[in-house]
Amino acid sequence: MARRRGRRIQRCLQSHAQRGPGLPYSVLGVSLMHRQQVMKLSVIAMPLLCISLFSHCELEDVQDVRQGIIKSWAQHLIVPGFQDFADRAQQLLVATESFCTAIDLANLEASQNTWRDTRAAYKRLEVFAFGPHKEFPGRYGPAIDTWPAREEDILELLNGTKEISTSLITNGGATKRGLPALEWFLFASPDTLLSETVSNPRRCEILLAIGEDLSLSAQGLAERWSTGEGSFLNELTDPETAQGMYANSKESFAEIVNRMWFTFENIQRDKLGRPLGNESNGSPQPDNLESRFSQNAIEDIRNNLSMISELFEATDERQGLVSHPRMMERTDLIASFRNQVNKTMQSLDDIDQPLSEAVLENPDSVRKVIDNFGELQTLVQVDFMSTLALTLSFNDADGD
């Protein structure tokens, strides 16, 4: 580790030494004398010069490391992840078109499976719920995933008389859009779903309009997270050049690491604690569950955690948090996080019933998951942030 740092500093010092004769030096904003004059520096001043050069080189090196990790994440996880979600949203639209052409159990199950695949792709991306997810233009998050599904709003649309179109869905409010609304049409009231879809053509009209709207939102989100000119991704990977919401790569790097513990906190509070009754005097509220009609809530949480685990780890092709020199020095912290991820995944696996039943019948199993995510949150919020010398942010979750 020390040898690697020494080589990097040596290269940095060499780059300063390669300045042409007569050119002034500048270390940390302080103009130095010409090369000939530098040789005349006093014995007392020379150590200060060396310290400044070493500090400057270390600063440049850490900045390069952070930016390299972010760019690796972008290439291998972020861009492919958002494009995968867009592709799956289009596949979901095709599947629902087939279902509405021939309304039968086989086509329904195919649509349900495609919905689950699309949901998984999106839930993996939840740690990136910033930028285009929340900010205009776009603000795609509420359009794609305002949960839990508001059944009363969907029924109002279904029982209404307005002509159904994609624009009606787009402009009709977040509670009638996105994956939760599609979930209701594909999973709610399973005993009568097929017969009601056959007898009420309006169901398929709405289903297809929501699917088209979702596909458009997913594609728009993928474009904002692409490498194209003016994309949000460029603000994240090249903040100094893009001149967007981040001043430098330390800020953009901190954004992602902060979002890791935000996600863990949101899981504890919103996805588990609220349905368990933590905000209702201990009275369970299973209707507040994410993906409650599809019974997909536990799988949603697994997918949240899987992406964060991938951001942490490195492979032969991809860098991760473990690639940062300061993390490399903390083998204890790396081992603790890996162990806690495994414990958390196991506690999710130990819930052998839908989460809607577990909050009523086996609340201790849910509390165990909450505790495990609390440990993960502490590791990131306290240990990662201090080890990486990053600034803590406030969790801006708004329930999307």
Q: Is residue 195 part of a domain?
A: yes
Based on the domain organization, do 207 and 273 belong to the same domain?
no
Residues 6+ apart with CB under 8 A from 206: 157, 158, 164, 169, 185
Q: Is residue 64 part of a domain?
A: no
Helix (H, G, I), strand (E, B) or coil at 130: coil
Joined tokens for residue 22: 């007569």
> In the listed set 237, 262, 296, which residue is the last one of a domain according to the structure?
237
Question: Could you tell me which of 74, 359, 346, 333 has the C-alpha nearest to residue 225?
Answer: 74
Q: Is residue 332 part of a domain?
A: yes
Based on the domain organization, do 220 and 297 belong to the same domain?
no
Q: Is residue 21 part of a domain?
A: no
Structural domain boundaries, residue 322: 248-387
CA 211-140-235 angle, 5° bins: 135
Tell me if 131 sits within 8 A of 235, measured CB to CB. yes
Q: How far apart are CA 174 and CA 157, in angstroms?
A: 12
Q: Is residue 10 part of a domain?
A: no
Based on the domain organization, do 254 and 193 belong to the same domain?
no
Tell me if 15 sits within 8 A of 63, measured CB to CB. no
Q: Which amino acid is at 186?
A: L
* Strand positions, DSSP E, the chain: 26-27, 30-31
Q: How far apart are CA 340 and CA 2, in angstroms?
A: 29
Residue 141: CATH number of its domain? 1.20.1420.20
Per-10-residue mean pLDDT of the chain, 400 residues long, equals 47 45 37 45 47 46 88 99 99 99 99 99 99 95 97 98 98 97 99 99 99 99 92 95 94 98 99 98 98 98 99 98 98 99 99 98 99 99 98 80
Tell me if 263 sits within 8 A of 124, measured CB to CB. no
Based on the domain organization, do 232 and 102 belong to the same domain?
yes
What is the four-CA torsion angle of 292, 294, 295, 297, rounded to 10 degrees? -70
Based on the domain organization, do 184 and 269 belong to the same domain?
no
Tell me if 131 sits within 8 A of 224, measured CB to CB. yes
Tell me if 276 sits within 8 A of 389, measured CB to CB. no
> In the listed set 175, 204, 237, which residue is the last one of a domain according to the structure?
237
Q: Is residue 114 part of a domain?
A: yes
Query: Please, how many CA atoms are within 13 Å of residue 386, restricted to the half-sphere of its CB?
Result: 7
- Specify the number of domains making up the chain: 2
Based on the domain organization, do 335 and 380 belong to the same domain?
yes
Q: Is residue 35 part of a domain?
A: no
Based on the domain organization, do 202 and 102 belong to the same domain?
yes
Question: What was the pLDDT predicted at 61?
Answer: 61
Based on the domain organization, do 222 and 263 belong to the same domain?
no
Q: Is residue 369 part of a domain?
A: yes
Residues 6+ apart with CB under 8 A from 16: 25, 27, 53
CA 90 to chain centre: 21
Q: How far apart are CA 113 and CA 115, in angstroms?
A: 5
Based on the domain organization, do 267 and 209 belong to the same domain?
no
Tell me if 149 sits within 8 A of 181, measured CB to CB. yes
Question: What was the pLDDT predicted at 17?
Answer: 44
Based on the domain organization, do 219 and 286 belong to the same domain?
no
Based on the domain organization, do 253 and 326 belong to the same domain?
yes
> In the listed set 212, 237, 262, which residue is the last one of a domain according to the structure?
237
Q: How far apart are CA 311 and CA 313, in angstroms?
A: 6
Question: Could you tell me which of 256, 262, 257, 268 has the C-alpha nearest to residue 373?
Answer: 268
Based on the domain organization, do 268 and 230 belong to the same domain?
no
